[in-house]
Amino acid sequence: MSADRSDASRDGHVLVLDAGSSSLHIALFAADGERVADRDASEPPGPAAAAELRNFLSVVPAPAAVGHRIVHSGPHLTAHTLIDARVRALLADVADLAPLHVTPALRVVDAARELLPDVPHVACFDTVFHKDLPAPARTYAVPERWRAEYGLRRYGFHGLSYSWALRRTAQALGRPVDNLQVVLVHLGGGCSACAVRNGRSVDTTMGFTPLEGLVMSRRSGSLDPGALLWLQRRHGLSTDELDDTLHRQSGLLGLSGSSGDTRDLVRARAEGDAAAALALATFTLSCRRGIASMAASLDRLDALVFTGEIGEDQPEVREEICSALTVLGVRGGLLVPELEDLMREGLRRIDRIDQAVRGVPVFVVATGETQQIAAETRRVLGIADGEVLQRSGNGTADNR
């Protein structure tokens, strides 16, 4: 290790690894929270992940800790935690609850722990934000055996994104987080909405797995379970066929027959593509339903907040969602080209876009999952920004 890389590691750089089913985002953050470098891997997480990570590490300061985004914590891990053998085994046991996300993430965890065996690795969970969901919000109306023995319950997801967006919103409003009641909406490849009351998640649209809730890019969102039973009985669809179709061939892609990307569909609709128009109309209606249902869990609505790739840089979609939410006091989301340019350039982290000062504030928060993972990693290790990371990776956090 070169002298400059050794010095840099003592400054407490945190490496963040965010693995998805077809992507791997790598980022390195300095002790002051500034992004030092990042890279989107050219290959899906798999055998090539180790080589991609090794190449990245060869040209950046050595990290003193690694934070991993893990979508699903399962029932036994309720806090962000150091990864040891026990935690790794627990995560493998729940991988089938979010197979598109957890399985590739664990491949990356293993590769990173092999490449960086002497630094602590921290699992940061999307489910932790929702760990205190009220009993009525987390409970499915199924027999007790299914709930107690099989563990069926609502977990909720996108928590790292929501944590980041919530604090940015509180700062923008000049109010403490624990005095806010807001609806947060994460729109990206996966989509969900969340009701936050006084800093805590009290309801969310995703459930036992990340398949429930809003229409998504390639995922169906909520579907009548009777329809799935009918498809199995009448048409002989296997569990594997249902799984693949609902996770990869549904949502905007299934509706349009052409793309799961809202940018493509907005262009296609403008050219007269009826299927694209139906896909966007179904998607925005699903979002409005989700937002309205979340608002029903609050006493008031202090703000509506959009984040995620679609939420951040797809103004046409935001406008169509907001313009039909006047019943909630929302007066629409402005289409401001200058704002969109600023957001894409990353010059601003949050902007208010509603049309009426007296209406419910509508904010767009630039996606901050990687920054949140870096911050949570530091919290698990018990250090503040700017302090040196010195903990080893042999322990585990309190997961009770």
> If phi over 0 gives left and psi between -120 and 50 gives alpha, with beta otherwise, what is residue 376?
alpha
pLDDT over 70 at 391, yes or no: no
Residue 58 maps to a domain: yes
Residue 139 maps to a domain: no
State mean pLDDT over 143-152: 96
pLDDT band at 164 (very low <50, low <70, confident <90, very high): very high
Residue 393 maps to a domain: no
Catalytic residue among 126, 273, 302, 354: 126
Residue 333: its pLDDT value, please? 59
* Domain match, 192 and 308 both: yes
pLDDT band at 1 (very low <50, low <70, confident <90, very high): very low
Question: Is 374 in contact with 14 (CB distance < 8 Å)?
Answer: yes
* Domain match, 121 and 179 both: no
The total of structural domains in the chain comes to: 2
Residue 358: its pLDDT value, please? 73
Residue 155 maps to a domain: no
Residue 160 maps to a domain: no
pLDDT band at 382 (very low <50, low <70, confident <90, very high): confident
Mean pLDDT of the chain: 89
State mean pLDDT over 162-185: 97
pLDDT band at 398 (very low <50, low <70, confident <90, very high): very low
pLDDT over 50 at 8, yes or no: no
State mean pLDDT over 189-207: 97
Q: pTM score, two decimals? A: 0.90
* Domain match, 202 and 295 both: yes
pLDDT over 90 at 11, yes or no: no
* Domain match, 76 and 202 both: no
CA separation for the pair 281, 327 (Å, rounded):
19
* Domain match, 201 and 112 both: no
Structure confidence by residue, pLDDT tens digits, 268-306: 999 999 999 999 999 999 999 999 999 999 999 999 999
pLDDT band at 30 (very low <50, low <70, confident <90, very high): very high
Of 37-41, 135-139, 167-171, the one with minimum mean pLDDT is: 37-41
Residue 141 maps to a domain: no
* Domain match, 234 and 362 both: yes
Residue 42: its pLDDT value, please? 64
Domain span holding position 23:
3-125
pLDDT over 70 at 189, yes or no: yes
Domain containing residue 68: CATH number: 3.30.420.40
pLDDT over 70 at 129, yes or no: yes
Of 45-54, 90-99, 291-300, the one with minimum mean pLDDT is: 45-54
State mean pLDDT over 9-13: 64
Residue 44: its pLDDT value, please? 66
* Domain match, 98 and 194 both: no
Structure confidence by residue, pLDDT tens digits, 213-270: 999 999 999 999 999 999 999 999 999 999 999 999 999 999 999 999 999 999 999 9
Residue 400 maps to a domain: no
Tell me which residue of 344, 292, 350, 284 sits closest to 317, measured CA to CA. 284
State mean pLDDT over 307-313: 94
State mean pLDDT over 123-131: 97
Residue 107: its pLDDT value, please? 92
Residue 268: its pLDDT value, please? 98
| 126 catalytically annotated | yes
Residue 167 maps to a domain: no
